[in-house]
Structures are given as C-alpha cells and as structure tokens.
Amino acid sequence: MPIMGIAGNTYSFCIDGATAEVENVMAINPRRIAKIKIVLNFLPNNYSKRKKAFIRFAANEFMIVKSLYSDLEQEIIFNFE
C-alpha cells in the first residue's frame, strides 16, 4: 500500500481508505506458503483508467511478495467499487 500511496502523490490521486485482505495457502511438503491472495479494496473514487493502471503497476511491480520465491503463486485482485 505505501508504494501505491507514493504513486498517488506522484500522479495526483488519493487511495485514502483503501484496505488489503491477505490470505495464504500452505503447501505440505515442504511446509511453506504455496499461494498468496491479496484483495485490494478501494473506496469509490471514480479512478480513471490511467490511475487504475498506475495502481495496478505499483502493486504488481513493487509488492514485497516478489521477494519471496519464484514458484509462489500470486493472485492480486483490485476492487475499485
């Protein structure tokens, strides 16, 4: 969320009130996180297509999830309404 907030400051949009729900699915052998699902909820704000693209880019390119391991399945859902 902080990176999306920085993008908002840079490109003049606000994500105040946005929330994230995180769910992980564990693998059994070896015991590790196999999948992470992140649901990002934004308050209604009439985001333009361009602003939504900035938010998606910031989330997909700079999430800490990228630093975990390469075979981690990731699902990021954006709810703009």
For 50, the 3-state DSSP assignment is helix
Q: Which two tokens stand for residue 32?
A: 């590790």
Average pLDDT, the chain: 85
Q: Which pLDDT does position 70 carry in this prediction?
A: 74
Q: Which pLDDT does position 65 carry in this prediction?
A: 60
Q: Which pLDDT does position 30 carry in this prediction?
A: 85
- How far apart (Å, rounded) are the C-alpha atoms in residues 40 and 19? 6
**Class for domain 2-79, per CATH?**
alpha beta
**Strands (DSSP E) found in the chain:** 19-27, 32-41, 73-79
Mean pLDDT of 53-72: 76
The pLDDT of residue 66 is above 70: no
